[in-house]
Structure 1
Amino acid sequence: MTKEPIIELKNIDVTFHNKGQTVPAVKDVSLTVDRGDIYGVVGYSGAGKSTLVRVINRLQRPTAGTVTVNGQDILALRSGELRAARKKIGMIFQHFNLMNARTIADNVDYPLKGAGLSRQERREKVAKLLDLVGLSEKAKDYPAQLSGGQKQRVAIARALANDPEILISDEATSALDPKTTTQILELLKRLNRELGLTVVLITHEMEAVKEICNKVAVMENGEIIERGDLVTIFSEPKQPLTRDFINTATQIDQALDKIYKQKLGLDDHHRLVQLKYVGASTDAPLITELFKRYQVVSNILYGNVEILQDTPLGNLVVVMAGEPDQLEQAWQYCRDAGIEITFLTPKDPEVA
């Protein structure tokens, strides 16, 4: 079934002028987000990802390009129309932006002023939103009494006050510890599922993308250098930056650093190999088969299986030992089974 686009950015340029200098922040970027997606836009600081996403609700007007959200040309809207359109686009940020002098309930209620609801209807809606994010008992507290994760939950409840169809998360987990980050990401995933909320996740952490996104775009120097569904990006990354992000998220870099410090005794009969495989390949008794068929012994130094969008992705780092011709046959068997092989050395990895 073809999904309906809810956000369409076409040929977006954003150029800043500062002290006589022209700084291109976003360069000819096109991006389509389908309704119901959790779309991750990942890149290091300065890549242009936050600037790009602020174009969606016209917090940043592009220098060139078109912006269509929910079928509306956002760039053509007058001020009143733009205010109405923005109510359907919630945003959460790294630093929560709560009003410290107001209670938690009042923070969530604030966007409802002018929404045409009675006082009782607003109270009921605030209670429902706080229940949705698991903070019903904190309604009368103040932001200073909450943890960082609880503050972000309040910010999420406030962002949902006007029943948006899109939620933009701009580095919203960057200030949180790993456990709290996981909880917030799980909440976003649940809101996506239960409310049909489309989420655009801006982050410099591929780990966050890995946890909840179904699609991802990688940005560098104001451009999207790679995009696709999550499983394809993780299993077949094309760009060095994408591979760097993925290796960090899967902790393969840390594992290789430790492995390279060992005395492995590599020679023509012993090769250090990384095996990557997707889907059904992970179910095969690979190590056993290589020994039975080719008398190749595999010493597993690192192993990891990720489940992304219900699809297993496996990573093994092994020392394979055997006669050179038997090793060649074993590697060909792996390739025929759809397993990617990378021959590793401490200095110069070489992709087979």
Structure 2
Amino acid sequence: MISLQSISVTFKTDKNKAVHAVKNVSLEVDKGDVYGIVGYSGAGKSTLVRTINLLQRPTEGKVIVNGKDIMALSDKELRESRKKIGMIFQHFNLMRSRTIYDNVAFPLKKSSLSKGEIHQKVTELLSLVGLSEKAKAYPSQLSGGQKQRVAIARALANDPEVLLCDEATSALDPKTTSSILELLKELNKKLNLTIVIITHEMQVVKEICNKVAVMEDGHVIERGSILDIFTKPQNQLTKDFIDTATHVEQGIETVITHPTLLNLKEDDVLTKLSFVGGSTSEPLIAKLANSFNVQGNILFGNVEILQDTPVGTLLLVLSGTPESVTRAIRYLQDNDVSVDIITAETIAEKKNKGGDEE
């Protein structure tokens, strides 16, 4: 559907210095994907996504959308191609002097549709985003979430195949953000709409995307399915982003650094267990006691659903003889449970870190 091939974007400053905003990035977005591109400010994510509709022309590379090399199109062909790529922004970009109806109708102004067909189209779009009763209102009379719904309706006016969302929820409160993401999920399924979301919030990616790319300093440093990225992150920045969305590491660190919660005996082994899929529902802890005479004391637990797949984490103290604990860990690993042993050195390091922050 979208193929960005070896994309680089270089800007020249007033002092004729080169700023490399995007550096040799390649991405493949399949039809029907909700693809998240996450990174901190200045990572190059907005610049990269604006190359998809050539709002930003790459310095190097190719942009293929629905089989067309859009960099090779004439100006007229490009204008037509852009109609199939809708875009919404952080600050809505609505025309304040026009009604909600007129804002949504604006992209259809020079279309071949009759006045009656435009009216029907706008009415359907406002109904689709849940704003039928606001047609005669003005943007100043709407909440932030309602304004973004208008922006979405306007972006859908030309029946696009792709919707680009540039920090579209950053100006919204958490509850409103959730409602906008739910709307985008519905549109993705109902219209088979391919969505590319730019954000600095991994929570947004977790809630709606099926794939994600992590950007830093103009590069894509990691990419993959949501499940793979959340369960097997390779890069420290990716891990940091995931921590902000799940709070698992923060919870574990709280337990480890709290003197009354962590009371290990001499042969106790502190472990972090990670489950994916079916193993989350298995009675593995009971099995440890029954088969290996190993007691499991749960200090922290968390289960989430990512792309309809349960993902769980446990902070577990294993108590038993060294031999039985070793056998129990091997059993867990054989049952597709990832086991990380948290050593005394790691505990001391986290405690020292907590003291430094205070």
SS of the residue 2:222 aligns to: strand
1:200 aligned partner: 196
Alpha-carbon distance in 2 for matches of 1:167, 1:251: 30
Alpha-carbon distance in 1 for matches of 2:188, 2:131: 19
Larger displacement relative to structure 2 (18-27 or 316-325): 316-325
2:354 aligned partner: none
How far does residue 70 in structure 1 lie from its aligned partner after superposition? 1.4
How far does residue 215 in structure 1 lie from its aligned partner after superposition? 1.1
Q: Say whether 1:9 aligns with 2:4.
A: yes
SS of the residue 1:164 aligns to: coil
2:153 aligned partner: 157
1:187 aligned partner: 183
SS of the residue 1:302 aligns to: strand
Amino acid at match of 1:318: L
Tell me, yes or no, if the aligned pair for 1:282 and 1:312 is still in contact at 8 Å.
yes
Amino acid at match of 2:51: V
Q: Say whether 1:239 aligns with 2:239.
A: no
| Residue of structure 2 aligned with 1:35, choices 25, 31, 36 | 31
1:273 aligned partner: 271
How far does residue 266 in structure 1 lie from its aligned partner after superposition? 2.9
Amino acid at match of 2:155: A
| Residue of structure 1 aligned with 2:219, choices 200, 209, 223 | 223
SS of the residue 1:91 aligns to: strand
How far does residue 348 in structure 1 lie from its aligned partner after superposition? 4.7
Amino acid at match of 1:283: S
How far does residue 112 in structure 1 lie from its aligned partner after superposition? 0.8
Identity value in percent: 60
| Residue of structure 1 aligned with 2:120, choices 110, 118, 124 | 124
Q: Say whether 1:175 aligns with 2:171.
A: yes
How far does residue 285 in structure 1 lie from its aligned partner after superposition? 0.6
Alpha-carbon distance in 2 for matches of 1:272, 1:145: 56
1:251 aligned partner: 247
> What pairs up with 1:295-314 in 2 under 5 angstroms?
295-314=293-312
Alpha-carbon distance in 2 for matches of 1:110, 1:300: 58
Q: Say whether 1:141 aligns with 2:166.
A: no
TM-score with structure 2 setting the length: 0.93
2:327 aligned partner: 329
Moved over 6 A (4+): none
How far does residue 58 in structure 1 lie from its aligned partner after superposition? 0.3
Larger displacement relative to structure 2 (210-219 or 52-61): 210-219
How far does residue 83 in structure 1 lie from its aligned partner after superposition? 0.8
2:353 aligned partner: none
Alpha-carbon distance in 2 for matches of 1:88, 1:319: 55
Alpha-carbon distance in 1 for matches of 2:73, 2:348: 56
Alpha-carbon distance in 2 for matches of 1:20, 1:64: 19
Q: Say whether 1:45 aligns with 2:41.
A: yes
1:3 aligned partner: none
Tell me, yes or no, if the aligned pair for 1:274 and 1:315 is still in contact at 8 Å.
yes
Tell me, yes or no, if the aligned pair for 1:268 and 1:324 is still in contact at 8 Å.
no
Q: Say whether 1:286 aligns with 2:284.
A: yes
Deviations 1:82-118 (A, max 9, x none): 1111100000111111111111111111111001212
Alpha-carbon distance in 1 for matches of 2:49, 2:215: 12
Larger displacement relative to structure 2 (240-249 or 167-176): 240-249
TM-score with structure 1 setting the length: 0.94
SS of the residue 1:201 aligns to: strand
Deviations 1:216-257 (A, max 9, x none): 111111111111111111121111111121122111133124
SS of the residue 1:96 aligns to: coil
Q: Say whether 1:319 aligns with 2:314.
A: no
Structure 2 runs not aligned, ≥5 long: 351-358
How far does residue 150 in structure 1 lie from its aligned partner after superposition? 0.9
Tell me, yes or no, if the aligned pair for 1:149 and 1:180 is still in contact at 8 Å.
yes
Q: Superposition RMSD on alpha carbons, in Å? A: 1.4
SS of the residue 1:202 aligns to: strand
| Residue of structure 2 aligned with 1:83, choices 72, 79, 84 | 79
| Residue of structure 1 aligned with 2:103, choices 103, 107, 113 | 107
Amino acid at match of 2:316: V
Amino acid at match of 2:59: T
Larger displacement relative to structure 2 (282-291 or 194-203): 282-291
Deviations 1:119-177 (A, max 9, x none): 22111111100000011111111111111111111110000001000000111011111
Structure 1 runs not aligned, ≥5 long: 1-5
Alpha-carbon distance in 2 for matches of 1:169, 1:10: 21
Larger displacement relative to structure 2 (141-150 or 86-95): 141-150
Alpha-carbon distance in 2 for matches of 1:137, 1:280: 46
Aligned residue pairs, count: 344
